[in-house]
Structure 1
């Protein structure tokens, strides 16, 4: 079963680097892809895989460091464009399944963590988000390898 971890974020913006950091820690174990945006790049990254884990930081207003495990269905209601050149992740997944049904992963799990500071430059996440990195890495490994 071909599996990929897609880490989304900016490696030089503190908590926005969460997805990148998780993917980097799994790069020796699984195939990984680092993205700075969602949208069409996310579709391309997922094609040809049977299982995918998408990891990203979010800002929903819950307690920083909160880990949310989502499915594509949780995001499918979000089918709007996020600008003139990009799609929200939910819209990208919807489009990917509409256009490339046979090539998209049968299983996609999304791990999102609530960020504390995703706007300031820094090479490390805040302590609460840093702690979530290990938890998500362990959850992905446990899901795959038991």
Structure 2
């Protein structure tokens, strides 16, 4: 089965009109990424029992997630965020996707909002099985 892909077109800012393709990481890379993220969260010092007040709903979950992410070692957090970028290619006007070029002096992305959006979309692509009411082991 082919890996999942998603096409994202930026609609505002300095990157308006640019199109990117996000491709799911290969299985073992995705597994290593997820394990590293879970270990980083576990080491972040968040005390889970009672950390989320059910009456707060999604707001409580968001508060807990931000608190946990804020305690992750920045070096590990940056590595995890940057690895998400390895899943992204740009689709220039010719229509053939190519590796994303990123550097401090420019490159394919000029707007910080675009970088955030693409990382978010890459994360969603990899974790969508958590929100669609199924999981890999629920297909029975």
Q: What is the TM-score normalised by the length of structure 1?
A: 0.25
Q: Which has the higher helix share?
A: 2
Structure number with greater Rg is: 2
